[in-house]
Amino acid sequence: MWNFACPLIVYGDNSLDYLLQVKGSKAFIVTDKNIVKLGLVKLVTNKLDEKNIKWEIFDEVEPEPSMDTIKKAGVAVGIYQPDWVIGIGGGSCMDAAKATILLLARPELEPEALSVLEDFNFREKARLMAIPTTSGTGSEATWAIVLSDTKDNRKLGLGTTESMPDVALLDPVMVMGMPAQITADTGMDVICHAIEGYTSAWGTSMTLGPGLIATRLTLQFLPRAYKDGSDLEARTEMMNAAALGGMSFGNSMAGLAHSTGHSLGAIFHVPHGRAVGLFLPYTMEYLINGAEETTAKYAEMARYCCVANGSDKECAQALVAKIRALAKEIGQPAAVKDCGIEKSSYEKAIPALVERALNEIMTMTVTRVPGEEDLEKIYRYAYDGKSIDF
């Protein structure tokens, strides 16, 4: 038995007007100080004021929110007792909002217990809305919650199918001011979600469509959004692509670029999208060299995106070349050495990088599962910028 989960998606110009239609009287906004400073929260509260919905802001979310922050948000939401919880921001704010609404329903739980095993029934109390201000994580369209445990320096993947937002509100006005560097980093995350979701061993007929469309949209519109942040069409389509990417990998699973890139990010603090985007062409090559089924899927994508025509292998390789060209066009690093990481410290970290990657479920959901030795080689090749030939 499978299921495909996604929120009601409100998208396009003036989507914030949807707030004038919601039923409710109190909204609890989960965000960070920068989003407040940029005036983006005000765009939302103006609409809530117009609708006579009271609101309170919790703006203490940090990147990769900690358990302590979530506990604080849980106490504040418990006192406020809203009928809407609204996450405004990037993945961290939206994930924090998901955790907060779960604590509204079950205040006795510790944040690390916000897992698939519990029943929350939070919709008896409130509903959940996600309003992204970046086009990347796709958190607005997934139920996953990533929190960090600062005591043990580890990330926790939490959530339940219940923590899927009821509404994802994609208004391009929220991303128009995003700096070029963040547009590029987060955009690479989108194409990774799209391609890895499409080719995941857990993919189904339901997940293929979103992955395919998100790939085409990203190839077409990410360079435009990067070069001209005021390009409304490009911003709108990248927002759509991010949500579609979330639907793709959120209902299947991401893959090797995520497990290898995630480990690099954890140890060397490379932003998530930049790290996973860097590993995408290398891990695609690894799959092309030993996984026919996935090669055929890359070829389908390449043909659909008008990247190439020809044999499966030729098309798949052309898609890899296209990803490398995209990364170059938007100023993303082609190799680990371009991330300012010293070779000696990287070499020392390889056992830890490999161990972390091996412990990621995303290493298991590809059609050619690498062992320790292959992962080590992938990390070394990616440092030097060498194509994978094994």
Residues that bind Fe ion (CB under 5 A): 189
In terms of DSSP bridges, do strands 8-11 and 145-149 run parallel, antiparallel, or are they unpaired? unpaired
Instruction: State the minimum distance, in angstroms, from the CB of residue 28 to Fe ion.
Output: 26
Closest contact distance (angstroms) between CB of 213 and Fe ion is: 18
Contacts of 187 (CB under 8 A, 6+ apart): 135, 136, 218, 222, 225, 226, 238, 273, 330
A 10 A CB-CB count for 181 gives 14
- Minimum CB separation of residue 133 from Fe ion in Å reads 16
Q: What sign for the dihedral angle of Cα 223, 312, 260, 256?
A: positive
- The residue (of 60 and 189) whose beta carbon lies closer to Fe ion is 189
User: Nearer to Fe ion by C-beta: 91 or 370?
Assistant: 91
The DSSP secondary-structure symbol of 87 reads: E
Q: How far is the CB of 363 from Fe ion (least distance, A)?
A: 15
CB of 190 to Fe ion, least distance (A): 8
What is the nearest approach in angstroms of Fe ion to the Cβ of residue 192? Answer: 6
The label of the residue with tokens 């990410």 reads 222
Closer residue to Fe ion, CB minimum distance, 164 or 318: 164
Nearer to Fe ion, 136 or 223 (CB): 136
Nearest approach in angstroms of CB 91 to Fe ion is 8
Taking the complex as a whole, the smallest distance from the CB of residue 342 to Fe ion amounts, in Å, to 26
Sign of CA dihedral 226, 229, 232, 237: positive
Strands 145-149 and 154-158: antiparallel
Nearer to Fe ion, 162 or 189 (CB): 189
Q: Which is nearer to Fe ion, 189 or 237 (CB)?
A: 189
Question: What are the residues whose beta carbons fall under 8 Å from the beta carbon of 303, sequence distance 6 or more?
Answer: 309, 315
**Tokens 């995003």, residue located:** 178
Q: 15 vs 283, which CB is nearer to Fe ion?
A: 283
Closer of 257 and 318 to Fe ion (Cβ) = 257
| Cβ neighbours for 64, distance < 8 A, ≥ 6 positions apart | 92, 146, 147, 148, 155
Q: Which is nearer to Fe ion, 22 or 145 (CB)?
A: 145
| Structure-token pair, residue 225 | 């959004």
Question: At closest approach, how far in Å is the CB of 362 from Fe ion?
Answer: 10
Tell me which residue of 25, 22, 41 sits closest to 33, measured CA to CA: 41
Separation of alpha carbons 97 and 120, rounded Å? 14
Min dist CB 258 to Fe ion, Å, is: 6
Name the amino acid, one letter, at 135: S
Nearer to Fe ion, 235 or 274 (CB): 274
Closest CA to 127 of 153, 109, 157, 104: 104
β-strands 127-132, 54-58: how paired? unpaired
User: Which residue's beta carbon is nearest to the bound Fe ion?
Assistant: 189
Output the CA torsion sign for 217, 222, 225, 227: negative
Burial 267-280 (b: 16+ CB within 10 A, else e): bbebbbbbbbbbbb
CA angle (348, 352, 358) in 5-degree steps: 145
